[in-house]
Homo-oligomer: A and B are copies of this chain.
Amino acid sequence: MSKAYSPSRAVSASTIDNWDGEADVVIVGFGGAGACAAIDAAREGARVSLLEVASAGGGTTALAGGQIYLGGGTPIQNACGFTDTPEDMEAYLSMAAGEGGDAQKISAYSRDSLEHYQWLVDQGVEFNPEFYAGKHTNTPEYQSLTYSGNEKGYEESQRAAPAPRAHKPHAFWEEGGTTLMNALTDAVLAAGVSVHYDSRVLTLVVDDERVVGVLCRQDGEVRALRARRGVVLCSGGFIMNREMVARYAPRLKDATPIGNPADTGSGILMGISLGAAAVNMDEAFVSVIWYPDGRYCEGVFINARGQRFVNEDCYHSRGAHHCLNQSGRKVYMVVDASIYREPPMYANPQVVEVGESFAELERDAGFPPGSLTSTLEEYNRFAEQGEDPFFHKSSEFLRPLNESPYALLDFTIGPGMYYPAFTFGGLDTTIDGEVRRPDGSIIEGLYAAGRCSAGLPRSGEGYASGMSIGDATYFGRRAGRAAARNG
């Protein structure tokens, strides 16, 4: 076994002289999806091996802020005085997923949300029944509940009663992901899962179209590990694989990858090697952040033609979607003196111009005469009446820009501006994580969950914080159970 292996080329079981180890279920990757798959597979009575390329578990989930999109009337929602129903949650997630949404997954996830909440609590994940009402990317202290998407948006709120659904484990600020993974790691070990770190899965082993194991590099050796019932791929997305990004999501090339270094798409490639459908590959969370603590939501986004293009109080990845969607991608924010004190958190937009009037900004920045001023005067005219008939920004953030001087901030993607991105594309799976070919048939013995599958999050325009970890943990569990029961 000295040849070079590629995740893009599975190997035949006939080439395996003898297995170096075996389990009922082999799980690839110890992030949120892999941990939950391992726990529930073990609880089903399976002997589970969990292989992690890094020297510790956690994956990208541990790096995240840790919000989990849960609803339908969780104890935390109720304690904070909010009502929610599975139906409203399902309606909202359907809008959020957009045209590529997986209706079956959205429905199952919404209906089982209370059960999944309780399951997380049972694993030792604590939530703090405190609501954060501000505008931020995460709750800034220990609060567990907040709005994390566009639930209160004009379109959305007409079609689904808004409720805050981001549930962050009880932890300070951005430590929610680490806190979540600490609890899940304890649960993995308590469930009797056999965890192997520093174990890079190289490729799948197949026997007559059925996945029967993996080749894995451990201690410098290639070992063949047999999976009697199934392999569950939970190895993350592909944002760290620049070749895959160039091939499958070239639009992301100027964005900043976020994730862990192992988000190289290896699980997706392993599925593709066996004829799986990889779908939604061009879509991603791409963000630009302007709003903590909400002050910059009072500003006005402007494109190169002086046109406004989005409600400035929308979720940050929706804002970025529209920023990147403007012809030529050149975008600005106009603020007045009451907004601008320091650059917004996470962003570092350069001040292009400062002026005493809109006309001065317009002239000095080279906008066509009358363009920027007419947009801003129109904005102010409506804002004075408490209206935004164009984009329906909430009254909370709607006020005329009228305290000079005014500043034009450059929000264009490029050096100096932070547009973080991770991918939404991956293997097409059933609600039980079974990996499908394009004709809908199942690849026997192969499962996937988390960001190496295409799950709830399908669109950067519709994303809400917590959808990815929610998807990874819930469908990770389902994939683990399905693999444990297989064959």
* Contact status A275-B275, CB under 8 Å: yes
Candidates B209, B281, B378; contact of A370 at CB < 8 Å: B378
In the complex, whether A123 has a CB less than 8 A from a CB of chain B is no
Chain B, Cβ-Cβ closest to A391? B305
Q: How many residues of A contact B (CB 8 A)?
A: 50
A374 B368 Cβ-Cβ under 8 A: no
Whole-angstrom distance from the CB of A272 to the nearest CB of chain B?
Answer: 6
Q: Is the CB of B390 within 8 A of A438?
A: no
- B residues near A17, Cβ cutoff 8 Å: none
Asked if residues B438 and A8 are in contact (CB atoms below 8 Å), the reply is: yes
Q: Within 8 Å of chain B (Cβ to Cβ): is A441?
A: yes
Asked, given contacts A368-B389, A441-B6, whether A275 binds B277 with beta carbons under 8 Å apart, the answer is no
Distance between Cα atoms of A240 and B265 in the complex (Å): 30
Q: 1/0 per position for A1-16, CB-CB distance to B under 8 A?
A: 0000011111000000
For residue A273, CB closer than 8 A to chain B, the reply is yes
A1-52, CB < 8 A from B = 6-10
What is the 8 Å Cβ interface bit string for chain A, positions 352-392, against chain B (1 contact, 0 not)?
A: 00000000000000001011001000100110000001110
Stretch with Cβ within 8 A of B (4 or more), from A84-92, A156-164, A246-254, A479-487: A246-254
Q: Which residues of B contact A10 (CB under 8 A)?
A: 275
Q: Which chain B residue has the least Cβ–Cβ distance from A325? A: B325
CB distance from A137 to the nearest CB of B (A): 23
A258 at the interface (CB under 8 A from B): no
Instruction: Tell me whether A9 and B244 are in contact in the complex, defined as CB-CB below 8 angstroms, given that A99-B253, A368-B382 are known contacts.
Output: no
Contacts of A281 in B (CB 8 A): 279, 281-282
- Whether, in the assembled complex, A151 has its beta carbon less than 8 Å from a beta carbon of chain B, the answer is no
Residues of B within 8 A of A378 (CB): 370-371, 374
Say yes or no for A342: interface residue by CB 8 A criterion. Answer: no
**A390 engages B370 (CB within 8 Å):** no
- Within 8 Å by CB of A6, from B7, B100, B439, lies B439
Is residue A398 contacting chain B, with contact meaning CB distance below 8 A?
no
B368–A390 CB distance below 8 A: yes
Task: Kindly state whether residue A269 has any CB partner on chain B within 8 Å.
Answer: yes
A274 at the interface (CB under 8 A from B): yes
Residues from chain B with a CB closer than 8 A to the CB of A336 are none
Q: Say which residue of B247, B309, B382, B441 sits within 8 Å of A8 (CB atoms).
A: B441
- By the criterion CB–CB under 8 Å, are B275 and A439 in contact? no
- State which of B100, B209, B250, B253 has its C-beta within 8 Å of the C-beta of A250: B100
A295 close to chain B: CB less than 8 A = no
A sample of 9 inter-chain contacts (CB < 8 A) reads A6-B437, A8-B441, A99-B251, A247-B279, A272-B272, A272-B277, A275-B275, A368-B382, A371-B390
